[in-house]
Amino acid sequence: MTQITDLGVAALRDGIRTGEFSAREVADAFIVRVSQARQLNAFIVETPEHAIAAAREADAARAAGETLKPLAGVPIGMKDLFCTKGVQTTAASHMLEGFKPEYESTVSQKLWDAGAGMLGKLNLDQFAMGSSNETSYFGNVISPWRRQDGGNAPLAPGGSSGGSSSAISARLCPAATGTDTGGSIRQPAAFTGIAGIKPTYGRCSRWGVVAFASSLDQAGPMARDVRDCAIMLEAMAGFDAKDATSLQLDVPKWEQGLNPDLRGKKVGIPKEYRVDAMPGEIEALWQQGIDWLKDAGAEIVEVSLPHTKYALPAYYIIAPAEASSNLARYDGVRYGMRELPEGANLQEMYAATRAAGFGPEVQRRILIGTYVLSAGFYDAYYTQAQKVRTLIARDFERAWLDCDLLLTPTAPSAAFALGEKSADPLAMYLNDVFTVPSSLAGIPAMSVPGGLDKDGLPLGLQIIGKPLDEQGVLNASLAIEQRAGFTARPGQWW
């Protein structure tokens, strides 16, 4: 018999609606499972009472014969970058340890309004800066996956939404929120054999989400399959007057619109994504993806995105520049930690607080960002990067003349071992090579599991779409999902 915790969002939602099980049973099952998986370090804070409260409400509504909310009684995980009222919100930083916001982020509020409950706050790379979840002040998140080579090297769940990816693939929660600045939803999804979508910039409100790089940050869902992502995204997206970059558009019925028939669709294969030293297995999976999409009726065309190789360096100017400014507010005055050495003046207090509160990767990015914005360098770095960004966006616009969607690998490798890349920041940055261009262009992109590598680790395929065409992205992803038949799951070793 299937366990409740093996079910996804749609199955849980439907089961609660039909009375197959109660929402309380669902909440309890996941709460127990979360409590048994602390070795993974996926959660910074567990909030069983929150999940139970939502479950009670769902059960009461059902008992009263009311129409259930879209996510009634579905317990989820919340990346600890979303401010949650009265619940510690840290961005995985020492800086915010103990910080309890007096407000609820728009996205999390929308999820609660849709009836979801919260199992806890999920670990992440500190201030969402990282691709392996090794920069959290609260310790590394460990992927539930293990290589089938007999070694037990703990693997990275990807980052920055590594707590989310680890928790979902370990069945600690059916779905979770993620945020994606340069690939932080898609890369961890690929590393852990789950699905995740970064919607069009502006679909999900950024209000109440701890900012990393404002022009890039987008919230999105992570779940085990495409349908669950669609359901979650419908609840998370929507106009918010409190975010000046929020898109004033109705939320499409993405779940209802799911359709894996790709006849009449053209899918572009960007030749510049065939990077040097890409493992053969990833190359092969990409080809497999092409065949699956053909099988679903799509026409495959080769396209060119000539500025692709400049996306990463542009990103590593723009994101740190914005971050250096966004993180200036962490100064030990109004919230968060304060380090006040004996006799220190105000400016010394700032410097001591920020040295003690920010981890090394955050400090590194703040320094890079400060440097590229400083007098004399601004035009050469920042302005040039924003111009290159224009060219990258133009590349995509040109591609849309020839195709409707793009297919690429999600990441240039499968999950690596913790510690394997953390000594070399640049090597770590290169992990985002396939996800960053669509982030810079603000367009929707999704990772779905495609298969396993020779070590038995998941590999992801990425579908990139036109602005606002989340439906097209979800549909192509669904077509892949159906053909990939990805059922592998990590063994429960914890």
Partner 1 sequence: MSVDTATVKKVASLARIAITDADAERLAPELNNILGWIEQLGEVDTASVEPMTAVIPNKLRLRDDVVNDGDIREAVLANAPAGEHGFFTVPKVIE
Partner 2 sequence: MSEFRIKGATGEWEVVIGLEVHAQVTSNAKLFSGAATAFGAEPNTQVSLVDAAMPGMLPVPNRECIRQAVRTGMAIEAKINKGSRFDRKNYFYADLPQGYQISQLYHPLVGEGTIEIEVEGETKTIGVERIHVEQDAGKLMHDQHPTRSYVDLNRSGVALMEIVSKPDMRSPAEAGAYLSKLRSILRYVGSCDGNMDQGSMRADVNVSVRRPGEPFGTRTETKNVNSVRFVMQTVEIEALRQIDVIESGGTIVQETRLFDPDKGETRSMRSKEDAHDYRYFPDPDLLPLELDDAFLDECRASLPELPDAKRARYLSLGVTPYNAAVLTAEVEAARYFDALLEAGAKAPAAANWVTSELFGALNRLGRDIEDSPVSATQAAQLLGLVAEGTLSNTLAKQVFEIMLETGDDPAKIVEERGLKQTSDTGAIEAEIAKVLDANADKVAEYRSGKDKLFGFFVGQTMKAMAGKANPGVVNELLKKALDGG
Task: Determine the Cα–Cα distance for residues 88 and 80; give it in Å rounded to an integer.
Answer: 8
Nearer to partner 2, 85 or 147 (CB): 85
Task: Determine the Cα–Cα distance for residues 103 and 122; give it in Å rounded to an integer.
Answer: 18
Nearer to partner 2, 101 or 158 (CB): 101
Q: Give the range of 16-24, 204-212, 404-412, 439-447 binding partner 1 by CB under 8 A.
A: 439-447
Which positions from 91 to 110 touch partner 1 by CB under 8 A, shown as an x/- string?
-------xxxxxx-------
Distances (CA, A) of 145 to 40, 81, 156, 206, 244: 10, 24, 9, 31, 40
**100 counts as catalytic:** no
Q: Which residue has the tokens 């606002």?
A: 468
Q: Give the range of 14-22, 190-198, 385-393, 486-494 binding partner 1 by CB under 8 A.
A: 385-393
> Do 446 and 463 form a contact (C-beta atoms < 8 A)?
yes
The reply to whether 380 sits near partner 1 by the rule CB under 8 A is: yes
Specify the 3-state DSSP secondary structure of 210.
Answer: coil
Q: Give the range of 131-139, 272-280, 299-307, 368-376 binding partner 2 by CB under 8 A.
A: 368-376
Give the tokens for residue 412: 């240039």
Alpha helices by DSSP H, listed for 196-332, are: 226-236, 280-295, 308-326
The reply to whether 441 sits near partner 1 by the rule CB under 8 A is: yes
Which positions from 317 to 336 touch partner 2 by CB under 8 A, shown as an x/- string?
----xx-xx-xxx-x-xxx-
> Do 258 and 234 form a contact (C-beta atoms < 8 A)?
no
Which positions from 40 to 79 touch partner 2 by CB under 8 A, shown as an x/- string?
----------------------------------------
Contact partners, residue 97, CB within 8 Å, separation at least 6:
88, 90, 137, 336, 337
> Do 99 and 54 form a contact (C-beta atoms < 8 A)?
no
Nearer to partner 1, 319 or 448 (CB): 319
Q: Which of 131, 165, 169, 184 is catalytic?
A: 184
Give the tokens for residue 226: 């495409």
User: How many whole angstroms from its chain centre is CA 456?
Assistant: 23
Give the tokens for residue 287: 């080809």
The reply to whether 247 sits near partner 2 by the rule CB under 8 A is: no
The reply to whether 347 sits near partner 2 by the rule CB under 8 A is: yes
Q: What does the binding site for partner 2 look like in residue numbers (CB under 8 A)? A: 82-83, 89, 91, 96, 99, 101-103, 105, 206-211, 213-215, 241-245, 321-322, 324-325, 327-329, 331, 333-335, 346-347, 350, 370, 373-375, 378, 382
Residues labelled as active-site residues: 79, 160, 184
